Amino acid sequence: MNGGVFARHNRLPFAIDIITGLLFYFVAKFTDLQTAAIVGVVVGFGLVLFQRITKIDVTGGLALFGIMMLCISAGLAFWLNDDEWIKLRGTITGLIAASFFIIDGARGGPYIGKGLARYMPYSDIHAGRFAIVMGVIGLIMAALNYGAAKLLTTDNWLFYKTFVDNFIVIGLVMLAMRFVRAKQAA
């Protein structure tokens, strides 16, 4: 898949990710983190339902995995019921997601690795290595979220989680592409 096809194919899921991230930010800013978590789950289920009805890809390929992680995150928001603990749910869900990726990668990436690789601009991605690398990125991001949750105020953490966190992930994924492409690794 060339970059132009990739960009056109992923434009809508990318825009949806940005819009839902901004929605979470503003709902959390003007209400609380629990309400934002519930809105995230409702929007996530709505997007999956919309995608099923219209057959338009709005979730980027891992809809069920994303919904499962949203539900875990919202469940933690209500179970923990404290802003400091809610800030740590990104660390908890990051560790859970990283575990799923690493386990999938150890099995050759037949599920998560393969599903996510479809949305990358290269057709030569080794799904197993990709899942493992994404799991490692998940571990790094969980550690960064832990540091941000402990060191920053809730408002500053919310800004980090909504705006800064995404750029770090993008940079790490771009770096990871060097190691997961099958032609280069073979």
**Residue range 76-88: mean pLDDT, rounded:** 81
**Residue range 10-31: mean pLDDT, rounded:** 85
Query: pLDDT-derived band of residue 115, with 50, 70 and 90 as boundaries?
Result: confident
pLDDT of 9 above 70: no
Distance of alpha carbon 104 from alpha carbon 92, whole angstroms: 19
pLDDT of residue 57: 80
pLDDT of residue 75: 84
Distance of alpha carbon 104 from alpha carbon 47, whole angstroms: 25
**Residue range 129-150: mean pLDDT, rounded:** 96
- Asked if residues 32 and 155 have their Cβ atoms less than 8 Å apart, the reply is no
Distance of alpha carbon 41 from alpha carbon 127, whole angstroms: 28
pLDDT of 4 above 70: no
pLDDT of 51 above 70: yes
Share of the chain above pLDDT 70, in %: 90
Backbone angles phi, psi at 181, to 5 degrees: -75, 130
Residue 115 or 171, more confident? 171
- Sorted by where each begins, the domain ranges of the chain are 3-185
pLDDT of residue 136: 97
Distance of alpha carbon 46 from alpha carbon 48, whole angstroms: 5
With CA atoms as reference, report the closest residue to 97 among 86, 89, 87.
89
**Residue range 72-80: mean pLDDT, rounded:** 81
pLDDT of 3 above 60: no
